[in-house]
Each structure stands twice: as structure tokens, then as C-alpha cells.
Structure 1
Amino acid sequence: MIPVVSYARISADQERDEHGIQHQHKVNRQTAERLGWIVVDEFTDNDKSAAKSGVVRDEFETMVRALRTGKLQDGRAIRGTVVMVEDRLVRRPGDYERFVEALTYREGRVYADQRGPKDLYSEDVESMGLIGAVIAKMEVRKMQRRMRNDHRRRALAGEPPAGGNRPFGWKDDRRTLDRDEATLVAKAAEQYVSGRGLNSIVRAWQEAGIKTTTGREWTTTSLKVLLRNPRLCGWRMINGELVRGPDGQPIVGQWDAIITPEQWMAVNAIFTARKGHLVNGSGSTSPLPQDFREHKHLLTSFLRCGRIRPDGTMCGARLRVTRQRDCVQHIYSCPPKSSGGCGGLGRRGDKVDEFISEAVLAKLEERSTAAQDVGPWPGEEDLKAVEDQIKELREQWRTRKISNALFFEEIPALESEQTRLRAERERYALTAQRAAADMTDIRRRWYSEDDEDRLDISQKRAYIREALHAVIIHPVGKGNGSRTKFNPDLLEPFWRED
């Protein structure tokens, strides 16, 4: 009996359970038995396309290495391969060449599919197999083009995407809202625009036992994908671009929307044009890193030491939280020199938290009041004029009234201006949405005694991050009276610009 291995691959459009794989291997074993071979091992790649260049089929690669050496990892000898059909083995010429090279590395190797054995040592057979792989690749490309064209056609017709899992917020028909899920999504979008972080929302959903449509736990990544999807407001996006009609306006889909276009643009503006920098020790700024930790104190990472070193530069180190035996409250203090600080500054944490909380709430209330009178976006006419220019230029190029050189020289600047104005419109929508936030309720919940109603630390920190970059705490200095007396004038907030 000649020892061989069996290979099977189940694609995403086929059966996903073990029955399908077992069926293929059963057919492979039957083929091997008819030829007097024996299957000593089986290799299976489930839901891994053989046509995509970026997909690594681990089992296929392991089998190729085993064929080249003539033995499995446990030392058992093998002399060939049996598969159900050849295009389940390879669909790219490069993979076929590697497979044939490995199998024919030594003499006497065997290969068979459901139709029978093939002599891969024969140049004619190898050439036919290579041609078959090329044809299979061409067919895959045709299928991919048909799928892309179908996605585009459905999008232009306003139809929801076909296939895949049910989108969260809608029922199985993908058009009618699931009221419970849609309410959660709408509230999450509103809270995110108001300043609540993704981590805080995800933790609340996890604690409430809310699952995705596939039954998995929500993560910040999955929530971000959900909120960035323009499907929420009835629009459609393909390859990162909104699907627009001939008039340049987004096509409205034939499904119920969860939020308004203005709300989605406000959410998207945060993701695509998020502002925020930290103040470094030298006074320069750097991008604000994402905050994934569950903080126990309100202002850690926001507070900076303002003590001046002997060389005239500011310390600028982030203050840490410490506790002293004779103090009930926490202390914000500069770390020692061995940890990058100066160790020469400390301040009562409860007093600092109270003052900065009031300052942040006042600043947010001030911005909310000012933003309520923003009115409609003043750049709408400018955007329409640019879109009309682009449309006219493309029509002139299509009808050959202008040359290729002129078209490709003029179109980049117009498209760049169009992108800038659309981003500006999203930021404007964000300002309007934030103006609609009820700051009275936020202030009440900030100090609420009810654990369930009160904003948690992460929510408060999100509002603080929305309002300011950092707070420099200056030293009391000699001759300024008792060090135990809290002086708010020594706290210097660096506010974010509107």
C-alpha cells in the first residue's frame, strides 16, 4: 500500500460544518483505496480561499513541506496526495508550481483527484494543470468583478447589502428596525458625540449582557465599526467612499434609519478629524494617545508639574497619585528624579478634582450656549459649486471636449477642495450635535449620589478630554503662606480650541 495524504478545502460559500469536510475526505479515501493507496493523514483548510493572494492556507503549506521531505512531522513516510477536485487544491499558478515542485522533488510520487491518477512528472500533464490553474484564476476574477458590480448596483438602487450576518439594529429582513437594538445604537451615538468614550460604552454593554448579532462580546473595535457605518443614517459606503448619485448627493437606502445624517456626520467627524494633544515638558505638544486603562482617579495623565528646574526649564512630568498616613484624600505629586520627575510638587487631589470639574463643566456649558446659535452650515453653496464644477469637467472629458492632460491637471485640485469642504461640513454637524446636548443633565449626573445615574470615571474623563489638553500645576513657592491652603490660581488649564 502506498502511503498518501488527503487534502480538502471548504470555502465560505459551502458547508461550514465538519460534515462537508468529512465528505470530501471520505471521497478521497475511496479514490485512494481503488488505486491501492492508503491515506495516512488529512489536511484541511476551512473557509480559506485559494484564489486570494493575501490568504495563507496553513494546512496547504504544511502539506507542501511534507511532500518535499517525503514525511510528516511525526516521521511517517508519504509518497503522494489525493484530492477531491484539482481546483480545490490550487487556484493560482504560483501555488500549483510550488505544489508540483514539492511532489516531484523525488521520483515515484503519486497524485490523484476524483477522476483518477495523474502523472505530474509528465510535462504535458503539468502544463495542462498549470493552464487549469490560470483558467481557475481568471474565473475567480470574473466572479469577483460580478460581485463588485452587484454590490455597486444594489447600492445605487438603495438596496441593502446581500449576504453576511444580520446588521445590529435591524431585523433579519435588514430593512426593519429592531427597536431594542436600535435604541442602544442611537443612545451610543448620542453619548459618543457628547464625549463619552468607546471603552465606557462597551463596558456598559458588556455588563448588561448585550451581544453582537453573532453572539460575541462587544469590543471597542466592533463598536467603532458599527458607529462609522453610514447605514445608521440610511446611506451606503463602498471602499471608504459614500455611494452618491449623479447629483453628488448620497443615495438614501431602502431601510429604516437609526440616526439622522447630521448625527452620523458628527460621529464620523470625531473619528476622522479628532483633535487632541498633550503638553510635553518642553512646552511642545504631541498627539493624545488612546486611553484604554480603567483609571481610579479623575485627573491622572492630565496634570503636569509646573516647577521650574535650576536650568530654567519646566519639569512638565505627569503627576502621580500618592497617599500619606495623615491624609484621608489622595495626593497628586510629581514623581522622583529617578522616574523622570523632580519630586518637588504635590497637591490635594480632592481640591484639584473639584476645581477642574467645575471649570470643565463651565467651559462645556459656555461652548454649548455659543453653539446653539450656529445656524446652518455656511459652506453649503461653496460645496455645491465645487461639485457642479467637477460634474461639468467630467462631462467635458467624457465627450472629448477637453484633453486628458487638461482633465487630469484640473480634477485633483477640485476633488481636494471637495474633500475639505465635506470634512468641514462634518465638523460643523458635530458642533451642532454637541450644542444639542443637555449640559444641565450632565452637571446633575456628575455629582449624583445614585451609583447607577452618576457618571463614572471614564465618562467624566471623556468630558475633560473634550474640554482641555492638560493642566499645569505651579508650585506654591516661598513666602506665599501656608502650604496647606489650596490656591486655584496655581492651576493653569490649557483649553482646547473650538
Structure 2
Amino acid sequence: MSSSDHLVPVVAYARISADLARDAHGVEDQHKINDETAAAVGCRIVHYYTDNDLSAAKADLVRPGFEAMLKVLKAGRMPDGQAVRGAIVVADDRLVRRVGDYERFVDALTFEDGRVYADAKGLKDLYNEDVESMGLFGVVISKAEVRKIRRRTRRSHRRRAEQGIPVGGTRPFGWNDDKRTLRPEEAERLAQAVRDVIAGKSLHSILLKWREEDVRTVHGNPWAARSLKLALWNPRLCGWRRHNEELVRDVDGIPVVGQWESIITPKEWMAIDALFSARIKPNVKADGTVTDYRTPSHLLTGILRCGKPKDDGQICNAPLRVSTRLDLSGGYIYQCPSRSMGGCGGSARNGAKVDEYVTEAVLAKLEERAAVKQEQDAEWGGAQELERLSKKQRTMLQKWQEDLLSDELFFPENHKMEVRIKELRKERTEHALRVQRASKVTADVRERWFSDGLDMAQKRALVREALHAVILLPVGGGGRRPFNPDLLILKWTDG
């Protein structure tokens, strides 16, 4: 019989960082320390449990090795029947950092009498209440230290954000490895995508184009809709920084400019932010226009509505659908769905002719608006109020900090100003979106419309911006009649 057979069989637990775990020498050193500690206290290790690079301080994080060890300790044997009479770790804080886990460990280890526990300092009698209490006290101290580390980390992140210093990790798409200088081809793709989205192009069409051109993320993966949206929504594109879901601002409320080259202007990013953050309705944008989950194949789908009166005098108002009609010029018609589908089935019109008429009317309206574009580009009207409230809020804060203002007065008034300031910032963002949209509708909109410079999503976006709806009145009299534009009522967004 070997001398090791007289040693108490125990399991060992280790939890080391990912970098150390990838180093074979680091793992060997860890095992050597445990082996030497075990031999010094008359034990031999029969199994190693590890949870490398898993924090013991996070309540929602499961450590598989730790949980498996508790089951073995409570049972007193390994799954193969090998006896286990205790456990050994290098340091207590590598085993547990939460009181609940420490209590579970003690309960499992002391489930039977005669178990042993040791760390680098030697054996510890967990059956002794004083020792257990000291262990609990150590866990509390360890947890407090974790909180301090987390606070220091958060403060460090916040400080770096306020100084505009790029964060670590993988380089962002559009920038080089230094995270400061631009990678021209990627940066231009992002800039063009932003301009296209502002002009009404769908993310889906941009995504298809990038996939056709085999554009990859910085990790070498194909782009997905969510990753593309997040990339375009990142304020880093215009030089700003977001921290804890809020833009990082200086004491005057102005967004901090980062130490990297920007790809788009702040106004362009504000327009993107307004589009993506709108939550009025699932498919209604911040400026009240409607966006499509997918791009329809025809210009007026969902926009053209039936104007035939019902028995109660109200119009049907059902959105018209497209049906193929090869015997007509254009090959399709807009028609009201049947009663079983929510319509009246009593209206239909040549689709190509309706599209042609509405297109000309919309283009004329857009050209008229482009002619007075300088009026749309006027300064936002709420700028003075926002500046006044921001200054007033800072003054109140200073007085409150100097005990010149009571809590009863400060907090209610400050809350009112915060609510109004948020409203004004939202209005400013929506104004920026309208201005950016107007800047895309220039005098060459007609040329781009007919030269395939605009895809269907962009055309529909322009139609929606100009029109609330188009009402199709019934022809009457039965039979086919010549197309009559007077039976189309255009509801313009500007009244």
C-alpha cells in the first residue's frame, strides 16, 4: 500500500483568469500550489474543479464547477464511487464572494462529520462556529471590495467618456485599429448608409446590397439587420459618445466630442436617432411619417384608400390592394378588398395611371418645397428656451449644493425643468430630421426619381412625407370609363 493511500481524499477548486487559463504553465502552477498545500496538511487531491474566467461575485452567473463540487461534497463521493472527505482551495476569495454561496459550501462540506477544509494558510475547522463566522466576515469584506472595484471601474469608464477617450476592445467598423483614424472604404459605406436611411431607404435594402458585395463586420461575419442598425445608430459616427444609454455631455449640456475622426455630421446622427428611437407606433417614425417593415412592390400600397360611401354615409376607407390585370396598360390595378377581407369590393382603378398622376403631383409639391428650402433651414425655435432652462437648472443646482436652496424647493422645480428640457431636446432632434430630409429633396429629385436614383422605399418615403393618403372616389355609372384624376383626392401633409 502506497503512502498516499493514508492521505485524506479531497477535491480542489480553482478559479483563474482567462489569460492564465490559456497558459498551460499557469494551469500547471495552479495545480502544483494545490498539490503542495494538500500534501502539507495530509490530503491528496482526487479531482480538480475549475471555473476559469467566471466571476464569483455576480448573482446571475452560474459556475458549473462550483455547483458540481457542492453535489460531490454533499454525497461524499465522486460519480465513479471514489470517496471525498473534504476540499482545498488556494484562497477563500477565489471560492466564494457572496454570503449565500459561502453558506451553501459550508452546508455541503459539513453534511457529514469529519470533513476537512484547507487553503494556502492551512486547515480550517468549518464545524467551529467561530471559524464559520470569520469566514462569513471574510466574504462580506470581499464583497465590499468587489463593490469598490466596480465603482472604480464605472468612474474610470465615465471619466474616459467625459474626456472623449476611445474605449478598449475590437476596433469599430469604419475606423482603424487605433480607433481614432478612419478606414476610408468602411467609413464611406457607413456615411452613405446614413444618407440613404435619412432619405427613406430601408435597412433591408442596404443590408441586401452589403451582402451582395460581401461586406463583412470587423469579426469577419456577414452583416445582420440588428448589427447594421446599431452601427448606424452609434453616436461615435458624428464624434459623440454614449455612456449608460445617454449621450455624454459637459457641464453646459453640450455633447462631448471624442478623440477620433467623425464620419457624419451631428445633425445627420440626430436625424438617425430620431428615426430609430421613435416609439409612437411600431411603424411610425418620429416625424409622423410611416416606414414599412418590408418594401412593397408598388408605389401606393397602403397609401391609396377606398372612398366609396357605405350605407351609413361614411366612406369605406379600406387600403387598396394590387391585383394583376394583363389586359390593362401597366398590367395591374388597385382595388378595394372584398367585404370578407375588410373592404367593400366596390372600387378599382388602373394602377399605372394612378401612380403616374400621384407621382407628378408629389414631385411638383417636393419641388415647390425645395424652392423655399431656406425657410425650412431656419434655426430651431426652441433653442433660446433650452439654453435658458439649462442655465437656470445649473444655477439652481449650485445654490442647492451651497445650501442656499431647500430640498423642498429644489427637487420639484428641478424635476419640472428636467422634463421640459427632455421635451425640447426631442423637438430639436425632430427638427434636425426634418431639415436633413429637406436637404435631400433638392431640385434634381425629378431626375433621380426617373433615373433609378431612388429605390421604391425612398420613393414611398417621399410620397408619405408629402401625403397623408390618397382617396379613390368611385367612378359610378358602371362599365369602363376613361381615367379621371378628379376622382383622386390627395390629402397633403401641409394641409
Q: Structure 1 pair 91/378, CA: closer, same or farther in 2 (3 Å)?
A: same
**2:178 aligned with 1:173:** yes
CA distance in 1, matches of 2:384, 2:218: 41
Q: In the alignment, what sits opposite 2:141?
A: 135
Shift of 1:493: 4.2
Letter in 2 for 1:421: L
Q: In the alignment, what sits opposite 1:475?
A: 474
Q: In the alignment, what sits opposite 2:355?
A: 353
Q: In the alignment, what sits opposite 1:247?
A: 252
* The 10-residue stretch of structure 1 (334-343 or 57-66) with the greater mean CA deviation from structure 2: 57-66
Cα displacement string for residues 297-355 of structure 1 (whole angstroms, at most 9, x for unaligned residues):
33333343334443444444443333356457233333333333333433333333333
Contact 1:45 1:60 in 2 (8 A): no
Letter in 1 for 2:462: Y
TM-score normalised by structure 2 residue count: 0.79
Alignment counterpart, residue 437 of structure 1, candidates 429, 432, 440: 440
Which runs of structure 2 are paired with 1:72-221 in the superposition (5 Å)?
86-101=92-107, 123-156=129-162, 158-221=163-226
**2:22 aligned with 1:23:** no
Letter in 2 for 1:483: R
Q: What is the root-mean-square deviation of aligned Cα atoms in Å?
A: 4.2
Q: In the alignment, what sits opposite 1:284?
A: none
Contact 1:10 1:21 in 2 (8 A): no
Shift of 1:68: 9.4
Cα displacement string for residues 381-409 of structure 1 (whole angstroms, at most 9, x for unaligned residues):
32222222112111211222121211112
- Show structure 1 runs of 5+ residues with no match: 280-286
Alignment counterpart, residue 342 of structure 1, candidates 344, 348, 358: 344
Contact 2:215 2:222 in 1 (8 A): yes
TM-score normalised by structure 1 residue count: 0.78
**2:232 aligned with 1:234:** no
Shift of 1:366: 3.4
Q: In the alignment, what sits opposite 1:319?
A: 320
Cα displacement string for residues 270-296 of structure 1 (whole angstroms, at most 9, x for unaligned residues):
3345777989xxxxxxx9886333533
Q: In the alignment, what sits opposite 1:268?
A: 273
Local SS of the residue matching 2:259: coil
CA distance in 2, matches of 1:77, 1:366: 87
CA distance in 2, matches of 1:385, 1:173: 40
CA distance in 1, matches of 2:379, 2:21: 54
Matched residue count: 479
Alignment counterpart, residue 368 of structure 1, candidates 367, 370, 379: 370
CA distance in 2, matches of 1:204, 1:433: 23
CA distance in 2, matches of 1:289, 1:214: 34
Cα displacement string for residues 13-56 of structure 1 (whole angstroms, at most 9, x for unaligned residues):
x33986679938983997599744544x967576x544334x44
- Show structure 2 runs of 5+ residues with no match: none
Contact 2:9 2:44 in 1 (8 A): no
CA distance in 1, matches of 2:365, 2:281: 16
Larger Rg: 2
Q: In the alignment, what sits opposite 1:387?
A: 390
CA distance in 1, matches of 2:271, 2:50: 49
Local SS of the residue matching 1:177: coil
CA distance in 2, matches of 1:207, 1:493: 38
CA distance in 2, matches of 1:483, 1:150: 75
Q: Structure 1 pair 399/358, CA: closer, same or farther in 2 (3 Å)?
A: same
Contact 2:49 2:65 in 1 (8 A): no
Alignment counterpart, residue 490 of structure 1, candidates 468, 487, 490: 487
Letter in 2 for 1:266: A
Contact 2:238 2:265 in 1 (8 A): yes
Cα displacement string for residues 418-461 of structure 1 (whole angstroms, at most 9, x for unaligned residues):
2222222222222322232253444333322xxxx543333333
**2:459 aligned with 1:460:** yes
Contact 2:98 2:139 in 1 (8 A): yes
CA distance in 1, matches of 2:114, 2:445: 78
* The 10-residue stretch of structure 1 (381-390 or 56-65) with the greater mean CA deviation from structure 2: 56-65
Letter in 2 for 1:183: E
CA distance in 1, matches of 2:167, 2:321: 52
Q: Structure 1 pair 250/104, CA: closer, same or farther in 2 (3 Å)?
A: same
* The 10-residue stretch of structure 1 (84-93 or 395-404) with the greater mean CA deviation from structure 2: 84-93
CA distance in 2, matches of 1:150, 1:253: 16
Local SS of the residue matching 1:298: coil
Contact 1:8 1:89 in 2 (8 A): yes
Local SS of the residue matching 1:347: strand
CA distance in 2, matches of 1:340, 1:78: 73
Letter in 2 for 1:489: D
Shift of 1:172: 1.7
CA distance in 2, matches of 1:30, 1:396: 60
Q: Structure 1 pair 36/468, CA: closer, same or farther in 2 (3 Å)?
A: farther
Local SS of the residue matching 2:219: coil
